[in-house]
Amino acid sequence: MKLSEFNFELPKEYIAQYPSDHRDEARLMVVHRSTGEIEHRLFKDILDYFDEGDVIILNNTKVFPARLYGRKEKTGAKIEVFLLRELSNSSRLWDVLVEPARKIRVGNKLYFGEDDEEMLVAEVVDNTTSRGRTIRFLYEGSDHDFKNALMAMGQTPLPKYIKRNPEELDLERYQTVYAKEEGAVAAPTAGLHFSRELLKRLEIKGVDFAEVTLHIGLGTFRAIEVEDLSKHRMDAESFNIPESCAEIVNRAKANGKKVCAVGTTSMRSIESSVSAQQTLKPASGWTNLFIHPPYEFNIANSMITNFHLPKTSLIIMVCAFAGYDLVQKAYREAIKHKYRFFSYGDAMLIV
């Protein structure tokens, strides 16, 4: 399939700028692959679709405050630095994106913070891409103090299509209630709809939970620039599937139960470690798996996801799972019924 087939027009007012008042009261579209039926529910109604022994796979990555604002030495020009990944604890090296990139050159020093005693200073040591740089923070204290200082200065990395500054509520709401493993620069947004109460009600019903970790980088959202999808290369992202997760999932598969991946990141994780017998293998490493039609899914037989940007790897994966025509129908229904789109938007359950 071609990239242009995954384009659609979305009115700007449908892009959610804030989360729903209550996590589990976002709207839920339920899409049935076998019949093409579409239902309109609330997210807390997923209780009706899972039974004892079914498994829900959660990505427990935790978002860190990755966006910093500072200024250049000498000129004092304002800059934005987006932390992508830490390269080394001891040398304070980070891969970052910078804006405006044309003004940030190797050798420049960057200053963050207003108070001289609390200020962080970094030096640009390499160019990685047109907007990418490697910087070294010049900090003399302990690793613990450095990380605390960095996190204190950072802002919640809301996507650019949310046209407002981060607020206090985003510290909680742009994070899943089960987030544990820090390392993501974006939230696994399908999981934002789960409240602690809903998780407990599912647990009481006998639903099992399996946790994976995939640290979301900007590669997940990087624009696809080739029309032929087979030629697109995803940026690698760190993932981990513990043995306990594999055991829970494989037991459910063997018993013919529902296995639900929460979000495209959970789906990418489990599809990155499949045995010859189509079972889930424990694994830890990096994945650059790009799932696009046609694709044979091996592990999950249901999926929870948000409504995604056009021409992205996310909507392409959803089409591979549910079928292109059915997803196109579902998105037309979502626009007709004024669903909220993207990170803080509503959800879709595909069964």
User: Could you tell me the two tokens for 270?
Assistant: 């489990």
Average pLDDT, the chain: 94
DSSP 234-264: PPPEEEEE-HHHHHHHHHHHHTT--EEEEHH
* Ordered structural domains, the chain, with CATH: 3-63+170-350 (3.40.1780.10), 67-153 (2.40.10.240)
Per-residue pLDDT for 247 more than 90? yes
* pLDDT at residue 230 is higher than 80: yes
| Six-digit token string for 71 | 């200024």
Lowest pLDDT segment from 62-71, 111-120, 186-195, 249-258: 111-120
pLDDT digits (tens, 9 = 90+) for 201-212: 999 999 999 999
Residues belonging to the chain: 351
pLDDT of residue 89: 65
Whole-number Å distance between alpha carbons of 260 and 301: 6
Burial (CB count within 10 angstroms: exposed 0-12, middle 13-18, buried 19+), residue 315: buried
pLDDT at 115: 65
User: In the chain, which residue ranges form alpha helices assigned H by DSSP?
Assistant: 143-153, 168-173, 196-204, 243-254, 263-271, 313-322, 324-336
What residues have CB less than 8 Å from 38, skipping those under 6 apart?
29, 30, 31, 32, 329, 330, 333
pLDDT one-digit tens code per residue, 314-338: 999 999 999 999 999 999 999 999 9
For residue range 44-63, what is the model confidence (pLDDT) as tens digits? 999 999 999 999 999 999 99
- Does the structure show a pLDDT above 90 at 292? yes
Predicted TM-score (pTM) above 0.95: no
- Number of Cβ within a 10 Å radius of residue 145: 11
Q: What is the pLDDT of residue 73?
A: 86
Q: Is the pLDDT of residue 91 over 80?
A: no
Residue owning tokens 């979305």:
10
**Which pLDDT tens digit goes with each residue over 267-283?**
999 999 999 999 999 99
Q: How confident is the model at residue 166 (pLDDT cuts 50, 70, 90)?
A: very high
Q: How far apart are the first and last CA of the chain?
A: 23
CA proximity to 247, closest of 285, 205, 208 = 208
